[in-house]
Structure 1
């Protein structure tokens, strides 16, 4: 046999040896990663939205109507940060006015409402109101209450 033929056989044998060593390792890694991970709880900001934005004619303050839809974790309260701007796009050089609104007692799958009152708004300027952040706090169980 020529030297070139021996090199071909040698490469083939090394490839087969590599498969015999690394194939079981690859199968082990593939099989051990099969446990499904629990989904992380969704962010509270996904449960709230601004449904209205208007300027009160008497006080000239901008107000935002906010609704929160409860999550399956049980009854709780939302604290929503509402932002007031003169356009939908945020201006990185300016800080927008913000207000907090607390919406307590939101049951799972129920919708509760709140209102955020913002600053005095300039005449002839249309406001934009949006959710800047939200936090959900589960309600504390009442003493003496029994679980169903």
Structure 2
């Protein structure tokens, strides 16, 4: 029993350095996947939107954006919570964090639906990214304007 507990704690410790090396690009991509999956459905429109946002936001080729999306999906599938990703993104300058929040809204709105689960996710992420409710709302309005 103690050996299994030791291995559990040592495997947690082994994962810590990986968190520290998580790039802002990958953390942002993982948050985008989380936003797309918040309503329980990851649509092709949401996936395409994430690819475009990653390509334009991080100056990636279509292939690189696809690879980043694949990494983000794997990370999001195994993530216990959002803190692993928000800790990294929170270190970005405020204007970049606001852009991330706007992009998250763009992902949420990609399927032309907005659910209470998606709204709840964004309310939780705002404080974790040091974004006020007002700033989050303004980012949503900018994202809605980009949809039209």
User: What is the TM-score when the length of structure 2 is the normalising length?
Assistant: 0.21
Q: Which of the pair has more CA radius of gyration?
A: 1
Q: Which has the higher strand share?
A: 1
User: What is the TM-score when the length of structure 1 is the normalising length?
Assistant: 0.21
Q: Which has the higher helix share?
A: 2
